[in-house]
Amino acid sequence: MSTLAPPQALDTSGSARAVTAGRATPRRLSALAVGGTLLLLLLAAAVVGPLVSPYDPISQDFDRLLQPPSWAHPFGTDNFGRDVLTRVLHGALIDLRIGLLAVVFPFLFGSLVGAIAGYSGGLLDAVLMRAVDVVTAVPFLVLVIAVVAFLGPGEVNVLFAIGGVGWVTYARLVRSEVLREKGLEYVAAGRALGYGRWRVVLGHVLPNAVPPAVIFLASDVVLIILTTATLGFLGLGVRPPAPEWGMMISEGREFLASGWWVATMPGFACMYTGLTFILLGDGVADLLRVKGQ
C-alpha cells in the first residue's frame, strides 16, 4: 500500500476540508443539533413534568390497578395503581443521572489508561493491559452481587460496581486506536519537527483516537440504563419503590399480556433516550474528527 499518510494532523489550515469540500459540514452538525434538541426536551420533561403532574409516583391506589391509557392517565396505571406517566417522568432524572455518572469515570479513566498504554508501549503497556485483563476476568455479576451483599442495594452501589468495571472497554478501544495512530507518519513527523511528546499525544493522537470511544460512550449510556434493568431482572437493582425505568421494565414484564403499558412506556422512554445519546455521540465524534484535521 502506498506510503501516503492521511494529512490529518499536520495540516491545520483546513486544506483537508478543502479536499472534502463536496460534503458540506453544516450537514454534519445536524446529528448534534437533533440530539441536542431531544436532550433538551428530555431534560425539560424531567424537570417540569414532576412539578406539573397531579399524581405522586409512589402512592398506591388499589382501586385503579392496571388501568389502560386514558385521558386521566395517559400512560395508564401499574399494578399498584400508580400513574405510569408520572413515574416515567420522575424516572427520567434518576436514569439520566445513573447513565451519565456511570460513564463519566469509565470514559475518562479508561481513555487515559488506554492512551498511556498504547503510546508508551513496552513494560507500562504490558502492566496496564494485564491489569485490564484482571478486571475483565472478574465477572461483572460477581462484582455486583458482592457490592450489593456488602453495601446493600441502591443506586450508589450499582454505580460503584458499574464504574469499577466499565472503564476497561474504553481503555482497550483507545489503546488500539493509539497504536494505529502511533504508526502514522504524522506522529514521527511531529516529533521530528520538535513537537513535545505530550503535545503530540494530547493535541493530535488523542483527538483522533478518541472518536470510537465517544461513539461507544453514547451506546454505553443506554447500555447502562439497561444494565439496571437487567440487575432488576436478577433482583439486584435500585431500591423499590423508586421509579427507575429499568426496574419498571423489569417489574412490568410480568404484565406484558394484562397491562403492556407498564413495561412498554418506560421502554419507549429508554428508546427515546437511546436515540438522543446516539445522535449526540455521533455529533460530538464528528466534531472531534473535524477538529483534529
List Cβ neighbours of 283 (8 Å cut-off, separation of 6 or more): 28, 29, 31, 32, 33, 35, 36
Over the window 71 to 90, marking each residue x when it contacts other proteins by CB under 8 A and - when it does not, the resulting string is --------xx----------
Q: Half-sphere exposure (CA, 13 Å, Cβ side) for 109?
A: 14
Contact 66, 79 (CB under 8 A): yes
If one asks whether residue 2 binds other proteins (CB under 8 A), the answer comes out as yes
CA 116, CA 73: separation in Å to the nearest integer? 53
Helices 211-233 and 155-182: crossing angle in degrees, nearest 10, is 150
Q: Which of 162, 210, 222, 224 binds other proteins (CB under 8 A)?
A: 222
If one asks whether residue 234 binds other proteins (CB under 8 A), the answer comes out as yes
CA 190, CA 193: separation in Å to the nearest integer? 5
Q: Choose between 48 and 150: whose C-beta lies nearer to other proteins.
A: 150
CA 56, CA 20: separation in Å to the nearest integer? 54
Q: Which of 50, 76, 99, 246 binds other proteins (CB under 8 A)?
A: 246
Q: Tell me how many residues contact other proteins (CB under 8 A).
A: 99
Minimum CB separation from other proteins for residue 159, in Å? 17
Minimum CB separation from other proteins for residue 223, in Å? 6
Q: Which of 32, 117, 200, 280 binds other proteins (CB under 8 A)?
A: 117
Over the window 148 to 167, marking each residue x when it contacts other proteins by CB under 8 A and - when it does not, the resulting string is xxx-xx--------------
If one asks whether residue 169 binds other proteins (CB under 8 A), the answer comes out as yes
Q: Choose between 152 and 196: whose C-beta lies nearer to other proteins.
A: 152
Over the window 40 to 59, marking each residue x when it contacts other proteins by CB under 8 A and - when it does not, the resulting string is ------------------xx
C-alpha dist (Å) from residue 33 to 107, 134, 157, 290: 23, 40, 34, 16
If one asks whether residue 21 binds other proteins (CB under 8 A), the answer comes out as no
If one asks whether residue 179 binds other proteins (CB under 8 A), the answer comes out as yes
